[in-house]
A and B are shown apart, each in its own frame.
Chain A
């Protein structure tokens, strides 16, 4: 099982703050993202960053069982 947690404006755009699927085990973030783009094309406008288990990773990183993927829209601290 892979858990995906959405932050900030992604919660608005997707209408939920997380998803959980076993079929994402073994896929890369880029592959996962293709599916999300089909569901919500507006997301393509946003530069996203990703973290797996609280470590920033590149989109070519692979999702493994029990991973938690954080999908991070543009930052706005300060």
Chain B
């Protein structure tokens, strides 16, 4: 699934840095939203957030990353991702990182709040 879903969390293998990674994308990116399967086009930059997390205990401990794209720029995003990342089931994470590549990642059904809701 290589579409961009706005505000939707994806699970992937660990990224190269710990801490939050943020990078803007050029405007004009096509994306889908939670409520609409019709593509929209961004008229400003979308921001990609990515951060590493760990799940499980002992031998079952796994490191993974969560990333998403959003048009939000507020400072609550990282805390919101932190909270949601805790709720991702471990078997889901293991399955995601097992086959992770630049063309293979797994979207969750979890979203951060829309800009309009805030």
A and B bind: no
Chain B residues proximal to chain A, CB less than 8 Å: none
